[in-house]
Chain A
Amino acid sequence: AQSVTQPDIHITVSEGASLELRCNYSYGATPYLFWYVQSPGQGLQLLLKYFSGDTLVQGIKGFEAEFKRSQSSFNLRKPSVHWSDAAEYFCAVARYGGSQGNLIFGKGTKLSVKP
């Protein structure tokens, strides 16, 4: 069965430091991948997505992600974290076939930012 793994439940970084959130997926063919962010008490907002083409994808709020087929990974990065980036981050992959647009979500990584 398809799955998405976010190995880190909680990460703390200092403001201004770089950030990398890990995501691994299980799927044989080229996956459709997403990163979402959820601020406390809010719904999810799409940060970026990868469907095909350039494996380095730029998103909103200064985030980027790199698709690495050999590692089945789609890690999210940001060069300099701001206090407002404190939130929970979810990686997702479209279910096999994707005919109904269903996504499988990882369990999330909570990001805390130290001043």
Chain B
Amino acid sequence: DVKVTQSSRYLVKRTGEKVFLECVQDMDHENMFWYRQDPGLGLRLIYFSYDVKMKEKGDIPEGYSVSREKKERFSLILESASTNQTSMYLCASSLRREGPYEQYFGPGTRLTVT
């Protein structure tokens, strides 16, 4: 089974802090994704990556950056956390760049910025 793990289930940070959310997948997937999930808004794509050191903006990249130094790991970075970034963050991966393939999701990180 594909396993996608996220470094924290719950995180509380202060406004202005730099925040790192880590995601690791164990199935040699090429694609990795970061979403945020808010009530009534569903899932919105922040960034995705189809290869090491490659990244593409999703629908809501403002205030976020990403890093993919190794194929299995995809990090989401909040350079200066703000209260409007309080949300559930979901990481996902899928097999190859030439899709479509189903995405496999991690358990999520619930981030609270105070």
Residues of A at the B interface (CB closer than 8 Å) are 9, 32, 34, 36, 41-46, 49, 51, 90, 94, 98-103, 105-108
Contact size range, B: 20 to 34
* CB pair A99 B99 closer than 8 Å: yes
Q: How far is the CB of A76 from chain B (nearest CB, A)?
A: 15
* Bound-complex Cα distance A103 to B105 (A): 13
B-chain residues with CB within 8 Å of residue A106 when the two chains form the complex: 42
Residues of B at the A interface (CB closer than 8 Å) are 4, 31, 33, 40-43, 45, 48, 50, 56, 58, 90, 92, 94-108, 110
Contacts A100-B31, A100-B50, A101-B97 given; indicate if A107 touches B41 (C-beta within 8 A): yes
Report which of B41, B43, B103, B107 forms a contact with A101, defined as CB distance below 8 A: B103
* CB pair A103 B42 closer than 8 Å: no
The residue in chain B whose Cβ has the minimal distance to the Cβ of A94 is B100
* CB pair B90 A99 closer than 8 Å: no
* Bound-complex Cα distance A64 to B12 (A): 39
Inter-chain CB contacts under 8 Å: number: 66
The residue in chain B whose Cβ has the minimal distance to the Cβ of A101 is B99
* CB pair A43 B99 closer than 8 Å: no
Question: Which 7 A-B pairs have CB atoms at the shortest separation, nearest pair first?
Answer: A101-B99, A43-B105, A94-B100, A107-B42, A98-B100, A44-B105, A105-B43
Contacts A32-B100, A42-B107, A44-B90 given; indicate if A100 touches B56 (C-beta within 8 A): yes
Report which of B40, B43, B92, B107 forms a contact with A90, defined as CB distance below 8 A: B43
The residue in chain A whose Cβ has the minimal distance to the Cβ of B50 is A100
A-chain residues with CB within 8 Å of residue B96 when the two chains form the complex: 101
The residue in chain A whose Cβ has the minimal distance to the Cβ of B96 is A101
